Amino acid sequence: MGLPEKMKRIAVIPGDGIGPEVIRESVHVLETLRETHQVELELVDFDWGADKFLKEGVTLPQGALQMLSEEFHAILAGAFGDPRVPTNQHAEDILLGMRRGCIRQPHPAVCGRARLR
């Protein structure tokens, strides 16, 4: 899927702990920017974090990292880590997965270099 030139797609991953609270406020700022400065943004929420991991035993769906790198200009991610997951496997898979993707294939969606004009 080719990314539209003007519209910026941002994947929103609240994470765990204080992450959802911080991301909620960050999204509010982006929505205000969209309204006041006519910045074309599409914010897409993903529920990846400890709750999903504990319910389903899956950190990321198959192909998630490739989807993020191909279909989004940026990723807005909160804090990861939850005492209910002592190994922090979900945090490792998500954070290191995004970072490894950035190193292997520099891309604005993974590295977060999208320009919001």
pLDDT in tens, 18-76: 999 999 999 999 999 999 998 899 999 999 999 999 999 998 999 999 899 889 998 99
Predicted pLDDT of residue 100: 74
Q: Which residues contact 34 (CB under 8 A, 6 or more apart)?
A: 40, 41
Q: Name the token pair of 16.
A: 């765990």
Q: How far apart are the first and last CA of the chain?
A: 22
pLDDT band at 113 (very low <50, low <70, confident <90, very high): very low
Predicted pLDDT of residue 99: 79
Predicted pLDDT of residue 102: 54
pTM, entire model = 0.80
Query: What is the DSSP-derived secondary structure letter of residue 114?
Result: -
Class of the domain covering 8-111: alpha beta
pLDDT band at 17 (very low <50, low <70, confident <90, very high): very high
